[in-house]
Structure 1
């Protein structure tokens, strides 16, 4: 009987830790939603108010927005400074801005993304596309905005996810996305600040 009680107590402790972790991830997503940048433009299907997964990150980088935007918009150079990305190829070499299609691996997962918004030094966004170049409708929309601030730049990035996996575990997906964006912003700062 004593061993059954110990097993039950252990299972209760483990489940309480899981609930605390889930609550923390849910709180993080709620905080991200509260900080949402209303100046970011979203396709209707990916709007944060309807997407199950959402992440907001921002960082003041001590460099001008032109320099930072140039680093981020050079997608083929990402593997040289962003450890989560590799094998980038521009499938539309004649394009480098809006409409450019890239194949790459993020966290070793192959994706194909098209830049759908490109305003030099201000905004860039992309969306995953399928092999037939139609929107996947189960992917993510990733938006960036660059706000000049007295010689520095506030870099804001937000992403939504609307796929089956996102609906299955939105808090965990948002948490992982948030952490990846922290790394992305820190790496961008590292290569951008003089």
Structure 2
């Protein structure tokens, strides 16, 4: 299993959730041909995740600011945002039956757009079982999520300048 040596050096891991402490770790990255703010806005709009994030069927606001619940492949997860630094960093922890996770997003401005890096650390009995049954499942899921983010970021209309006044 990949560990901390494969993690992006600018990812901030909360205590107990480094890749070396995980039962599962994966990373995916892509260049999105849109500014960081556009991709960050899509990731931050959790109410719309069921429209485009693979496997998410429902999102409900939580009892605390920056908390929410998701139904992911028929499993309920409580999510708590741990890092929110627009438009460059986003991270949340999730707790579900037999699984604890932390997902980090890093959005780096590059020529022509944004390099988006996402990394996941998963712990618990459910994560151990999944790692044995389908070790590439989480990697595929992250890649699909990133592909959808890229598609939506690049297809959304860019802000335009107001038309010049006619003389």
TM-score, normalisation: structure 2: 0.82
Of 83, 87, 91, which aligns to 2:62?
91
**In the alignment, is the contact (CA less than 8 A) between 1:63 and 1:193 conserved in 2?**
yes
Q: Who wins on radius of gyration, i.e. which is larger?
A: 1
Aligned to 1:115: 81
Aligned to 1:64: 35
**In the alignment, is the contact (CA less than 8 A) between 1:166 and 1:173 conserved in 2?**
no
Deviation at 1:189, TM superposition (A): 0.9
Aligned to 1:126: 92
Alpha-carbon distance in structure 1 between the residues aligned to 2:40 and 2:99: 27
Deviation at 1:172, TM superposition (A): 4.7
Deviation at 1:33, TM superposition (A): 5.7
* Number of residue pairs the alignment of both structures matches: 155
Deviation at 1:38, TM superposition (A): 1.5
Deviation at 1:39, TM superposition (A): 0.9
Task: Identify, as 1 or 2, the structure richer in helix.
Answer: 1
**In the alignment, is the contact (CA less than 8 A) between 1:53 and 1:173 conserved in 2?**
no
**In the alignment, is the contact (CA less than 8 A) between 1:53 and 1:171 conserved in 2?**
no
Secondary structure of 2:109's counterpart equals strand
Gaps of 5+ in 2: 156-167
**In the alignment, is the contact (CA less than 8 A) between 1:65 and 1:148 conserved in 2?**
yes
Q: Does residue 176 of structure 1 match 2:137?
A: yes
Aligned to 2:119: 158
**Segments of 4+ moved more than 4 angstroms:** 171-174
**In the alignment, is the contact (CA less than 8 A) between 1:33 and 1:55 conserved in 2?**
no
Q: Does residue 50 of structure 1 match 2:11?
A: no
Deviation at 1:192, TM superposition (A): 0.6
TM-score, normalisation: structure 1: 0.72
Alpha-carbon distance in structure 2 between the residues aligned to 1:186 and 1:138: 25
Aligned to 1:36: 7
Gaps of 5+ in 1: 1-28, 131-135
Deviation at 1:108, TM superposition (A): 2.1
Alpha-carbon distance in structure 1 between the residues aligned to 2:143 and 2:17: 21
